[in-house]
Amino acid sequence: MTIYDTIIIGGGPAGMMAAISSATYGQKTLLLDKNRRLGKKLAGTGGGRCNVTNCGTLEELIAGIPGNGRFLYSVFSQFDNQDIIQFFEDRGIKLKEEDHSRMFPTTDKSSTIIQGLVNEMKRLGVTILTQTEIVSVKRPEKLFVLKSADQTFTAPRLIVTTGGKSYPSTGSTGFGHDIARHFKLEVTPLEAAESPLMTDFPHKRLQGISLDDVTLSYKKHVITHDLLFTHFGLSGPAAQRLSSFVSGGETIYLDVLPLKTKQELEAFLEEHRDKLLKNALKLLLPERLAEFYCDNFPEKPKQLSHKEREQLLEKLKNMPISVTGKMSLPKSFVTKGGVKLTEINPKTLESKKVPGLHFAGEVLDINGHTGGFNITSALCTGWVAGSLHF
Ligand SMILES: Cc1cc2nc3c(=O)[nH]c(=O)nc-3n(C[C@H](O)[C@H](O)[C@H](O)COP(=O)(O)OP(=O)(O)OC[C@H]3O[C@@H](n4cnc5c(N)ncnc54)[C@H](O)[C@@H]3O)c2cc1C
């Protein structure tokens, strides 16, 4: 039986970066994952293009991680989003910035990022075992003993990067929380975060339409970001971010043209008064949405009564939508809650109670917005957990 210096359970972004860092520090490193391929969840981010990081400032990064982002100051002082960008550039993988400071590989392919991480692990001599599900972890003496169905692995240092509990089909089924509990570490309640919203909206008709930078609001929470109409309601960053403040039974408001005031829209209707209303609105909105906004209004802007004009402007700028619920944890993008941060040394990500036991990535009680914030947290905590701190 080979004894490793460091074993990592979970080959998502946190685990792969932890393996790279650990091997860079000269550790004999083993990375285990139960899937056939590494980075299954990462592959699906950014619509399959891999939203590998976010190039915002430190303050923007922390603000993009509403679930305990402040815990990451020490981590980011060791390895941050600029280090992620440099890491990939140094290995010949160019990244590009898109809206909202989101970074993607210029190839627009997740496989570029995943292969880049895998190549680096191989170059550094990391042993990678896929299709290996760990079912128990014990520490009878000073070594961790891990068991799969038919193998045993041993090391003095264990890094747990098993992810949260959302999208369990990608492998993240909460095993890391069981490890934490086994070692008597507290785990905060697990909840859905970045959840798509179910609404009473006429889904079928608008399904598939995506909008850039619209405003969704609920009480004092006003979010301007991209939105996607789905068969069940609303998804995309605007809906997902608002999901922190609603659970079902609330009315939220949609402004599809936040950059235009009501006065500007009134002038626009006047300018196009002789056109078909639907053709006028098509200049501002996708065709199917323009048709939806024309429902129950006269054919041409010039035929609108004062009241109808007001109603149309109100619909465009402030349309009420009833939220009937939000997606459950397995169908939400991110898990809120996880290994309690007071259990963890913020400089090393090692358990304060169990020497040699580290946690990184979404298994921790840290959750960010989609847009690269979770992946940044995973890659940076992975690097720090894998590092040796002298
Ligand atoms: C559809 C979707 C889109 C997303 N988009 C974005 C986005 O745009 N921006 C963003 O920042 N975040 C996004 N996220 C969230 C982001 O992908 C996760 O936060 C991130 O992948 C977490 O990384 P991780 O390494 O901690 O865990 P994971 O990526 O979940 O990896 C955990 C790994 O551990 C393995 N594992 C678990 N248990 C065991 C076991 N017992 N034995 C062996 N292996 C095990 C799993 O197989 C898995 O490969 C998205 C999530 C989803 C589902």
Residue recorded with tokens 């209004």:
297
Which residues are CB-contacts of 109 (< 8 A; sequence separation ≥ 6)? 48, 49, 50
Residue 390 is predicted with a pLDDT of 85
Per-residue pLDDT averaged across 125-148, rounded? 97
CA distances from 369 to 147, 156, 210 (A): 34, 34, 18
C-beta 53 within 6 A of ligand 1: no
Nearest C-alpha neighbor of 258 from the set 318, 305, 203: 318
Please report which confidence band the pLDDT of residue 31 belongs to, taking 50, 70 and 90 as the band edges: very high
Mutation test of ligand 1: which of 7, 30, 38, 45 has the most ligand atoms closer than 8 Å to its C-beta? 45
Please report which confidence band the pLDDT of residue 201 belongs to, taking 50, 70 and 90 as the band edges: confident
Nearest C-alpha neighbor of 16 from the set 390, 355, 381: 381
Residue 212 is predicted with a pLDDT of 96
Cβ atoms of residues 189 and 197 within 8 Å: no
Nearest-atom index, ligand 1, CA of 54: 11
Fold for 6-191+333-386, please state it: FAD/NAD(P)-binding domain (3.50.50)
C-beta 162 within 6 A of ligand 1: yes
The H-assigned helical ranges of the chain are 13-24, 40-43, 58-63, 73-78, 81-90, 110-123, 175-182, 203-206, 237-242, 262-271, 277-282, 287-294, 306-318, 373-386
Please report which confidence band the pLDDT of residue 336 belongs to, taking 50, 70 and 90 as the band edges: very high
CB-based burial label for 194 (10 Å; 0-12, 13-18, 19+): buried
Residue 2 is predicted with a pLDDT of 78
Per-residue pLDDT averaged across 125-130, rounded? 98
Mutation test of ligand 1: which of 172, 173, 181 has the most ligand atoms closer than 8 Å to its C-beta? 172
The residue whose C-alpha atom lies closest to atom 26 belonging to ligand 1 is 361
On the question of pLDDT at 314 being above 90, the answer is yes
Which residues are CB-contacts of 157 (< 8 A; sequence separation ≥ 6)? 5, 6, 7, 22, 27, 144, 356, 358
CA distances from 331 to 25, 201, 285, 362 (A): 37, 20, 29, 16
3-class state of residue 269 by DSSP: helix
3-class state of residue 174 by DSSP: coil
Ordered DSSP codes for 65-115: -TBTGGGGHHHHHHS-HHHHHHHHHHTT--EEE-GGGEEEETT--HHHHHH
Cβ atoms of residues 72 and 366 within 8 Å: yes
C-beta 174 within 6 A of ligand 1: no
Cβ atoms of residues 56 and 64 within 8 Å: yes
Nearest-atom index, ligand 1, CA of 368: 11
Residue 3 is predicted with a pLDDT of 86
**In the Cβ-directed half-sphere of 389, how many Cα atoms lie within 13 Å?**
16
C-beta 226 within 6 A of ligand 1: no
For 254-265, what is each residue's pLDDT tens digit?
999 999 999 999
Calpha distance 201→265 (Å, rounded): 24
Calpha distance 199→189 (Å, rounded): 26
Per-residue pLDDT averaged across 82-87, rounded? 98
Residue 282 is predicted with a pLDDT of 97
On the question of pLDDT at 202 being above 80, the answer is no
Nearest C-alpha neighbor of 30 from the set 13, 12, 42, 18: 18
Residue 151 is predicted with a pLDDT of 96
Nearest-atom index, ligand 1, CA of 40: 49
Nearest C-alpha neighbor of 173 from the set 320, 363, 302: 363
Please report which confidence band the pLDDT of residue 189 belongs to, taking 50, 70 and 90 as the band edges: very high
Nearest C-alpha neighbor of 336 from the set 160, 164, 197, 161: 164
Neighbours of 191 (CB within 10 A): 17
For 215-252, what is each residue's pLDDT tens digit?
999 999 999 999 999 999 999 999 999 999 999 999 99
Q: How far is the CA of 313 from the centre of ligand 1 (A)?
A: 42
Nearest-atom index, ligand 1, CA of 51: 8
Q: How far is the CA of 177 from the centre of ligand 1 (A)?
A: 14
For 339-360, what is each residue's pLDDT tens digit?
999 999 999 999 999 999 999 9
Specify the DSSP class assigned to residue 4: P
Report the share of the chain in percent with pLDDT over 70: 100
> C-alpha 154: how far from its chain's center?
32
- Range(s) for CATH 2.40.30.10 in the chain? 197-326
Residue recorded with tokens 């995506």:
210
C-beta 167 within 6 A of ligand 1: yes
- Mean pLDDT (the chain, rounded): 97
Residue 203 is predicted with a pLDDT of 77
CATH of 197-326, one of 1.10.3720.10, 2.40.30.10, 3.20.20.70, 2.20.25.90: 2.40.30.10
- Do you know the residue count of the chain? 390
Q: Which tokens belong to 308?
A: 């109808």
C-beta 35 within 6 A of ligand 1: yes
Cβ atoms of residues 17 and 386 within 8 Å: yes
Residue 195 is predicted with a pLDDT of 98
